[in-house]
Amino acid sequence: MPRVSSIAAIGLIVALALAACTVDGEGPNNSPSSTPATASATSQGTQPSPPSLPTLTPSARNAPATGQLFTLYLRFAEKRITFRAPTNVKWNGLNDKSTMVVLKTKDFGPGTEEIAYLTASVSSHTPDNLGSLAQRLIEAEEMSKNTSLALTGFRVVNSVKGFVLQGTGPRGERYIWAGLDSDNVLAKLDFLVPKNLKPANWVDPTLASIEWK
């Protein structure tokens, strides 16, 4: 009987030792090399979420341009959109009071020989997401003008929300604002400004002058 008691005591000591190892984190299911389940799932299947679109930014607080008045006219919708050109240069305009107005100038003074353009257009459009509209315009512009454009934000102009595309082309800096109003009329202003000039000096006053009628 004493021998049996000794064997039982030894077995009890061994069991207690194994239990202590497991509690301390050295057991087979808690080894330092084991990867947590959540980390394993992340590394094997979960992809990082795509970056969100740029957030809405307010219009710059510039005084509206006070130059010549131009009108975009969508006849069947009886929609008129007016804007004024910056006054610091002399503009040559085409197609006033139509669905597209084209302005150009090279009146910059000494040191600049490039031509600046402002192309404004209006069109009826089906309801759509501004981000989707921006992407289609990026693709179309890159195919036709070989200019790399990027969606840089959203901007409200006279209560109409639009998107902003910007980029650099062979002839200067591009800035496009396009807004879709509550009647699904899309107005777009496309600026091309020589590289040595600041686009904001041209863009902000013009956008601030836009009115929907």
62 versus 206: the higher-pLDDT residue is: 206
62 versus 153: the higher-pLDDT residue is: 153
Show the tokens assigned to 15.
Answer: 């069991």
Residue pLDDT, tens place only, 126-171: 877 899 999 999 988 777 766 789 999 999 999 999 999 999 877 8
CB under 8 Å, gap of 24 or more: what pairs does 129-134 form?
Answer: 130/154, 130/161, 130/162, 130/163, 130/180, 131/53, 131/163, 133/163, 133/178, 133/180, 133/186, 134/163, 134/165, 134/178
Q: What angle do CA 145, 153, 176 make, to 5 degrees?
A: 30
pLDDT, average across residues 186-208: 89
Q: How far apart are CA 46 and CA 118, in angstroms?
A: 46
Could you tell me the pLDDT band of residue 111, with boundaries at 50, 70 and 90?
Answer: low
In CATH terms, is domain 56-212 a member of 1.10.220.150?
Answer: no
Looking at residue 102, its amino acid is: V
Task: State the pTM of this model.
Answer: 0.69
Cβ(84)–Cβ(64) below 8 Å: yes
Show the tokens assigned to 101.
Answer: 């107005």
